Every structure is written in structure tokens, then in C-alpha cells.
């Protein structure tokens, strides 16, 4: 009996699974990355090496048909065996809040919902017998609900993964009084809480999300899936009939997602991609993965692995990559162990990596303080688990003489080697930090790390809608340690960039996005200056150009041509112009203001169409009176001509502009709109009689013929009669 992670390790070391006749994958609905890999690798082994290998995928809430199709052979699905368990009946009671409750956002849960959960627990204690298991999304919510349950006739106990082992054991053992165990999803399927007859479910889950652009992770609160709440309800029926109080309505229940999102869709795929490369299937090509990994996440993972030297240009695992994956932790942490041991000693490197890789209950965001706490053995269970992992990691790296450096420096080096992009320097105003990756970072209030000039950040996340990340665990370091840990990010040279509204040239020393020193540089290379100008134009917009009335008018006409006729008439929206207008001759902001925008716009028109511009989208149209009237192209989809009715007498149809009939705004003699039409012939028959009836009495000096299509156009009115 092993974890799926250990099964993946064994498959990599011995693909034939010597001595194994069958593989049983339990709780396969949870769709962890290791579960997907174990399933894909065992299917590959069965197909190529071990046709006799038996595979069984098990779960109470599995997507049976999908799994059967994946596990089947010779085009037929695998058989599905349904095994009814000894679960007792569980009554479902719908207990939604009576008032409005805001939906979860990021890590935020409406306090009104948690107050309602506590009230529902009190109701359950009054209506039912036995212990109560309460599901809320995280430790903060556990604290809020347990506080609100003070005074109930029961022992109220928290249960989550970061509690000391003694506190977790207390929640799992029956006591002399009724218990209310307030838990996270840890108790959903991983643990059995004896004595539970009632479940109160808030209906929420906290799930990880990878911020691929910034290399950060985050936790978000979402509605739990139907599969998850089914698992939770089952906790009430393990030992006897029970009940579940669901803090939502039956109608809301029907709208819940059927299953949780698989980790492969939302997680950092660096370790996943390295396992695939070591298996000989970069990107998962040819494997029976339950879901294909997202392309963008794979690209980011491949870039990280190349930086670590773990894969070659073809995505194949290198000897370095195989050494990293053999350590059995994330490739970044494996790199920190292998490269950090010569710098800080094997033991200390293993201790810090074990602290980073395991979910251990440490207090505060000072990683070194947490390290010392584990060494002291205050929490015996956590210390024992940590020491076991330290011993395992030590066996993965050669021994070296322990260097004489302080623990703080050693921890900072190891953390920095694992996450060099998270090395951070305090901003000049002292309010926050800038990480080497370019993302801002903030420390929580009251932290012992406050004031440190540099940080090696081990854990940080960015909540939805926030600009900066929040530091969860870090080490205070100095600049020398940052430079040693972030070596490849340390660069120096001339840079030409768009900064502070213009092209700037400077000689910069950097650690990633952090500028360590700056001094003036020589005149910039023309090509680099042109690239900086183009970047400035993209960043600040087309307003940097000089838009004369002629340029604006030409842009409107070209937009109408593209809207009506499409390609090859050029698009002239902002994105198209930023990509298409040639500013290669500009070297600074002032040069952009001198660009001839009319000429630049005309250059976008293919040469074979340039002579047709005035015919396709004329600046003005000659009406039957001989007057030339300007076309309004404000709305490129509907070019419009505003003209008095009398000036278009004799026109059977409006001219075509941009491939369609010109829309006419027909005006009264006082130049008020009396009708709008693109079908002039139809208007003469159906619309004009009503206009004539209404206006000829108001404007008797102007002609209102019965047959306007045959009448002469005019701009004149009859002279006033003499008295």
C-alpha cells in the first residue's frame, strides 16, 4: 500500500513492476497529478510490457464511463463493477441562510454565512443525537465558527492539516461529551471521525490555482462539487443512520459542478512535465491521460525545466533532470537540495527542503523560526514526520563538509536556489518589496520580518484582484546572499527602454527586475531606440501621434471600408494600428508627434486598392442638385449622408458606399431629421407620403411633389408672395 507519488517513483525505476500482479488506484475521482500519472503510466506498461497486469480504479463518486473507456482494451470499455457498501441512510435537510449572503471571492467568505453555519450546528445539536462534523473551507473559517459556538453543550474541536498532531488526534477521538468537529475538506475522504451522526456543510471548498504569469500560487474559495458534498454527507452514515444539513437550497444543489476541476487544469505542471519527460513522453504524447494538460501551463513548465537543465531542446529528460526527479520533491526543491548541499551542508539543505516540501504546522511567516521550532521538538508528531523526510532527502545527495555559515544564511541560500525569481528587495519607500520576477510583495502586519532589506520568499500567493502578492513564508537575507542564490538572474549592461514617458538609456546592474545600480549610458543603438519607441506607443497608446482632422477622417473612411468589405481593406482599430503603423524612424517621444499619420494610414492600403479609395469610401457624395455633401463615417458599420429631402428628388436609389447602400438622413427645410433610410426607392412609396402630408403645410414655399422620384431636385424655395 503506497501513495500514488511513490507508485510513480517505482514505475520510473522499474516500469515492468516486477513482482506486481495488480494495481488498484483508490479515490481516483480526486484527480491529483500523481493519480493521473500513475494511471497513464500503468496503462502504458500494460500495453507495451505487461499485458497480464491487472488494473482497477476505485471511487465512490468516479466518472465510471470515462474511466471504463480509458482502461478498456481492444476498443471495448473495461467492465464496471458496482459494489454497494454498508453505508447507513442519511437524511438530507436543506438549511439555506434566510438573508442575503455574498458569494465567495478569493479567500473571502461572507461572515454572515459562517454565522448561519454556527446557527445550523446549534439546530442540529438540538434536533439530532451523536457528534457533529462541520465542513468549512479553511482554518480562518474554522476559527470563526468555533468562536461563535462558545457555550454550546459540546466540545468544539478544530481539525485541519496545519494543527499539531496532538490537536488532530484529539479531534479524532471520542470523549466524554458530545463533540462538534469543525473541519476542512481534510475530513471529506481522508479521515474517518468516529461517533459522527450529523454533518453540517457550508458547501464551499478551497482549491489551489497557479498564477502562471507570475510564478505564484494562490488559494481560492469556490462552491464544492456534487461529488464532494456527497462524500461529506457520507461521513454521517458510516456507523449508523445520520443526517446532513446543507446550507444551500435544493435548486442551488442542482447547479453545482458535478466534479472538482482536475489538478492538471489549474496547477503548476513543472513536476508533472518532468515525470512525462523521464517516462519518454514529453508533453504526454502517446499516453492515456484522463485530460490533456493545458498548452500554456506546459510551455511555462518546459521553460522552467530548461532553466534547471532538466530537459533538452526537444523536451527530453537530461541526466540532471533524472537526478532531480529521483529526489521525490518538486524539481525546484530538488535543485535547491542538490545545489545547496555544497553551500550549506547536506544536513541543513535537507532540513530546509523538508520544511519547504511538507505541509508542517509552523507558526508565523519567519521560516527560520519555524525551522528552529521543529528542531526543538515542541510538536512531536510534526518533528517526527519532518525528521523522516530529512533522512530520506539526505540519502539523495552526497555528503559534503558542513560550511561554517549561520542558519539564517543557509536557509536563505536554499530558499533562493529553489525560487530565485522570488528573491525580493524592499522598495525605497519601505512599504513593500519587489521580487526578481517583477511582482510586488507585501508582508503581513506585525511580522518579525518587517524591515529586512532583502527576503528569500519561500511561499507567496496573490489573491484575485490584488496587484501585489502576500508573503506567507520567507527568510531575511542580505544582498550578498541574494546575489549568490540568484546567480543567473544577476546581469549588467546597457539597456534602452521606454521609461517615464520617453526613451531612456542607462547602464544597469540587475537581479531580475530589481535594479541594483544605474548610471548614464552612451547614446542608444538606433534599432534599440526604435524598439523602445514602439513599446512606448503600445504602452501609452495612439495618442502619442498627432491626429490631424485629415488623419482622423481617413481613419474613419478606412474603418468603413474594412467593416463593409473586409480584407484586403485594412483594419484600423487600435490594436491593428499599433501593430501596423511604421514608426521605425522614431528615436524618442517627440519623433512620434512628427509622424505623418495620413501617409502612414495610406501605406496600410494594398497598392492594388489605393486608387479605389475615393470610389469605395468617398469623402463626399454629389446629390442630384449638384451639391457635394460630406459622408458621416462616425459609425463605420453605417456610413450616413444627412441631406434635405428636396435635394434627392429624382434619385431612384442611394449610391453604394463601402459595398452597401448609403444610409440617408432625410432632413426638413429646417434641417431636422424626418426619416432615415437605406432604401430610397421604397421610401418614396411607403414613407414619403406621410412626410409630405405632415410637412407641406408647415413649409408651403418648398416643393412637395406627389411623385418625388420623377421630380427635379432643388435647393430653392418659392419666393414669398407680395402684399
| Model confidence at 546: pLDDT above 80 | yes
Q: What is the DSSP string of 99-134?
A: S--PPPBTTB--HHHHHHHHHHHHHHHHH--SEEEE
Q: Among 112-116, 354-358, 392-396, where is mean pLDDT lowest? A: 354-358
Q: 434627392: which residue's cell?
A: 648
| Model confidence at 362: pLDDT above 70 | no
Please give the CATH number for the structural domain made up of 95-258.
3.40.50.300
**pLDDT band at 606; cut points 50, 70, 90:** very high
The whole-model pTM stands at 0.75
Q: Residues 41-73: pLDDT tens digits?
A: 999 999 999 999 999 998 876 678 888 888 887
Average model confidence (pLDDT) across the chain: 90
CA separation for the pair 398, 360 (Å, rounded)? 26
**pLDDT band at 613; cut points 50, 70, 90:** very high
Q: Residues 497-514: pLDDT tens digits?
A: 898 899 989 999 999 999
Q: Residues 295-333: pLDDT tens digits?
A: 999 999 999 999 999 999 999 999 999 999 999 999 999
Q: Going by C-beta distance under 8 Å and a sequence separation of 6 or more, which residues neighbour residue 51?
A: none
**Residue-level pLDDT at 208:** 81
**Residue-level pLDDT at 276:** 97
Per-residue burial over 393-416, b = 16 or more CB atoms within 10 Å of its CB, e = otherwise: bbebbeeeeeeeeebbbbbbbbbb
Mean pLDDT of 638-659: 93
Residue range(s) in the chain whose domain bears CATH number 3.40.50.300? 95-258
**pLDDT band at 84; cut points 50, 70, 90:** confident
Q: Residues 196-209: pLDDT tens digits?
A: 999 999 999 988 88
CA separation for the pair 307, 270 (Å, rounded)? 11
- β-strand partners of 180: 132, 156
CA separation for the pair 287, 37 (Å, rounded)? 9
Radius of gyration over every alpha carbon of the chain, rounded to an integer in angstroms: 36
Q: Residues 682-700: pLDDT tens digits?
A: 999 999 999 999 998 899 8
Q: Residues 397-428: pLDDT tens digits?
A: 988 887 889 999 999 999 999 999 999 999 98
CA separation for the pair 261, 207 (Å, rounded)? 9
Mean pLDDT of 121-132: 95
**pLDDT band at 721; cut points 50, 70, 90:** very low
Amino acid at each position: 500500500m503506497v501513495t500514488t507519488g511513490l507508485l510513480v517513483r517505482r514505475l520510473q525505476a522499474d516500469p515492468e513492476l516486477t513482482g506486481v500482479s495488480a494495481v488498484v488506484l483508490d479515490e481516483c475521482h480526486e484527480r491529483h497529478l500523481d493519480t493521473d500519472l500513475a494511471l497513464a503510466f500503468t496503462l502504458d506498461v500494460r500495453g507495451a510490457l505487461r499485458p497480464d497486469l491487472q488494473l482497477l480504479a476505485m471511487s465512490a463518486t468516479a466518472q465510471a464511463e470515462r474511466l471504463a473507456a480509458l482502461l478498456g482494451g481492444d476498443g471495448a470499455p473495461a467492465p464496471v463493477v458496482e459494489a454497494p457498501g454498508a453505508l447507513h441512510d442519511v437524511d438530507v435537510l436543506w438549511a439555506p441562510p434566510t438573508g442575503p449572503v455574498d458569494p465567495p471571492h478569493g479567500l473571502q467568505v461572507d461572515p454572515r454565512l459562517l454565522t448561519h453555519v454556527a446557527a445550523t450546528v446549534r439546530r442540529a445539536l438540538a434536533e439530532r443525537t451523536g457528534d457533529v462534523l462541520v465542513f468549512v473551507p479553511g482554518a480562518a473559517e474554522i476559527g470563526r465558527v468555533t468562536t461563535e459556538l462558545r457555550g454550546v453543550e459540546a466540545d468544539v474541536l478544530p481539525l485541519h492539516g496545519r494543527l499539531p498532531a496532538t490537536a488532530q488526534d484529539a479531534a479524532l477521538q471520542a470523549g466524554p461529551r458530545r463533540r462538534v468537529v469543525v473541519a476542512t475538506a481534510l475530513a471529506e475522504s481522508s479521515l474517518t471521525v468516529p461517533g459522527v451522526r450529523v454533518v453540517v456543510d457550508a458547501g464551499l471548498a478551497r482549491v489551489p490555482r497557479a498564477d502562471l504569469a507570475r510564478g505564484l500560487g494562490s488559494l481560492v474559495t469556490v462552491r464544492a462539487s456534487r461529488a464532494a458534498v456527497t462524500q461529506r454527507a457520507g461521513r454521517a452514515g458510516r456507523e449508523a443512520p445520520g443526517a446532513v444539513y446543507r446550507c444551500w437550497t435544493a435548486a442551488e444543489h442542482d447547479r453545482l459542478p458535478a466534479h472538482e476541476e482536475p489538478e492538471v487544469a489549474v496547477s503548476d505542471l513543472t513536476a508533472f512535465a518532468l515525470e512525462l519527460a523521464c517516462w519518454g513522453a514529453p508533453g504526454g504524447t502517446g499516453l492515456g491521460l484522463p485530460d490533456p494538460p493545458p498548452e500554456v501551463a506546459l510551455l511555462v513548465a518546459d521553460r522552467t525545466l530548461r532553466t534547471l537543465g532538466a530537459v533538452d531542446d526537444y523536451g527530453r529528460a537530461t541526466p540532471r533532470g533524472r537526478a532531480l526527479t529521483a529526489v521525490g520533491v518538486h524539481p525546484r526543491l530538488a535543485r535547491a537540495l542538490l545545489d545547496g548541499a555544497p553551500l550549506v551542508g547536506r544536513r541543513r539543505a535537507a532540513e530546509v527542503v523538508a520544511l519547504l516540501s511538507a505541509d508542517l504546522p509552523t507558526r508565523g511567516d519567519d521560516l527560520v523560526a519555524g525551522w528552529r521550532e521543529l528542531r526543538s521538538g515542541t510538536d512531536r508528531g510534526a518533528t517526527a514526520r519532518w525528521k523522516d523526510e530529512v533522512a530520506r532527502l539526505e540519502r539523495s545527495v552526497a555528503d559534503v563538509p558542513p560550511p561554517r555559515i549561520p542558519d539564517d544564511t543557509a536557509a536563505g541560500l536554499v530558499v533562493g536556489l529553489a525560487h530565485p525569481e522570488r528573491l525580493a528587495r524592499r522598495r525605497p519607500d519601505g512599504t513593500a518589496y519587489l521580487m526578481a520576477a517583477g511582482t510586488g510583495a507585501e508582508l503581513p502586519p506585525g511580522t518579525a520580518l518587517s524591515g529586512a532589506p532583502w527576503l528569500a520568499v519561500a511561499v507567496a500567493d496573490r489573491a484575485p484582484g490584488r496587484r501585489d502578492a502576500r508573503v506567507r513564508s520567507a527568510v531575511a537575507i542580505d544582498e550578498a546572499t541574494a546575489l549568490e542564490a540568484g546567480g543567473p538572474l544577476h546581469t549588467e549592461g546597457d539597456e534602452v527602454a521606454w521609461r517615464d514617458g520617453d526613451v531612456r538609456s542607462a547602464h544597469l546592474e540587475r537581479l531580475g527586475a530589481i535594479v541594483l545600480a544605474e548610471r548614464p549610458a552612451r547614446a542608444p543603438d538606433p534599432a534599440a531606440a526604435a524598439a523602445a519607441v514602439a513599446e512606448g506607443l503600445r504602452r501609452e497608446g495612439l495618442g502619442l501621434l498627432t491626429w490631424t482632422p485629415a488623419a482622423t477622417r481617413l481613419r474613419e473612411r478606412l474603418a468603413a471600408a474594412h467593416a463593409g468589405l473586409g480584407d484586403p481593406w485594412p483594419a484600423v482599430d487600435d490594436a491593428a494600428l499599433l501593430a501596423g503603423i511604421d514608426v521605425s524612424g522614431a528615436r524618442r517621444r517627440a519623433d512620434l508627434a512628427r509622424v505623418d499619420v495620413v501617409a502612414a494610414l495610406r501605406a496600410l492600403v494594398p497598392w492594388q486598392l489605393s486608387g479605389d479609395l475615393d470610389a469605395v469610401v468617398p469623402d463626399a457624395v454629389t446629390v442630384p442638385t449638384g451639391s457635394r455633401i460630406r459622408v458621416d463615417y462616425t459609425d463605420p458599420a453605417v456610413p450616413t449622408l444627412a441631406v434635405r429631402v428636396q435635394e434627392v428628388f429624382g434619385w431612384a436609389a442611394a449610391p453604394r458606399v463601402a459595398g452597401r447602400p448609403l444610409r440617408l438622413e432625410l432632413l426638413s427645410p429646417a434641417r431636422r431629421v424626418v426619416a432615415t433610410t437605406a432604401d430610397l426607392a421604397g421610401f418614396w412609396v411607403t414613407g414619403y407620403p406621410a412626410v409630405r402630408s405632415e410637412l407641406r403645410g408647415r413649409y408651403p414655399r418648398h416643393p412637395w411633389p406627389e411623385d418625388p422620384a420623377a421630380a427635379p431636385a432643388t435647393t430653392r424655395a418659392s419666393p414669398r408672395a407680395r402684399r
